[in-house]
Amino acid sequence: MLDKIFRRDMYQRFEFSMKESEPVASRTFLDVGCGTGWYSLELAKRRARKVVGIDLSTRMLMIARERLEEEGVVDFLEADFMEYEPGEAFNVVIAVGLMDYLEDPLPALIKMRAWTNDKCILSFPRARTARTLLRRVRLRLKRCPVYFYSPERVDRLLKEAGFKDYKMETIGQLYCVSAIV
């Protein structure tokens, strides 16, 4: 209950992502930085034809695989997504919670754009919010860099990556984006 109150934007970005993924049935998805597979598994439940979740964390992927019910629909891969070559484009690429940790997200955005034939669904943590300083200090103590964005920087990155158009919503501490190729 406390999680839903204090981290409400996590649930709202999930709803944004699922809404922007529609129609899900019979389509293909790449979930970059999939973590425990929350998004990937929901897409499988909504009858996606294929979902690939990719992450660097062995521990997160172990949790994702334990939760896996739709064998054959979801494939979880432990890999660096910048080295991953899918062989074919996906309908939708999702990267929610990833831009937080990329010092230079442009190469990743360019590669994601190349992997989709429809859109990318992304989130960017907002600069200058009530939680920005607290999060920066907390993660610095863990020796984990974190990066924050202005709407102008998001706009510039998406244009430089070659997206034709995008929709951006402010959801809590985040900018949630649906970028069209």
CATH number at residue 41: 3.40.50.150
pLDDT at 121 over 90: yes
- Both structure tokens of 176: 């949630």
pLDDT above 70 covers what percent of the chain? Answer: 87
Q: 179, 117 in Cβ contact below 8 A?
A: no
CA nearest neighbour of 35 among 90, 81, 98, 107:
98
pLDDT for the residue numbered 37: 95
pLDDT for the residue numbered 149: 93
At residue 142 the predicted structure's pLDDT band, cuts being 50, 70 and 90, is: confident
- The pTM of this model reads 0.89
Q: Which domain holds residue 8?
A: 2-180
What are the φ and ψ backbone dihedral angles of 12, each rounded to 5 degrees? Answer: -70, -35
Average pLDDT over residues 111-135: 85
Q: How many domains does the chain have?
A: 1
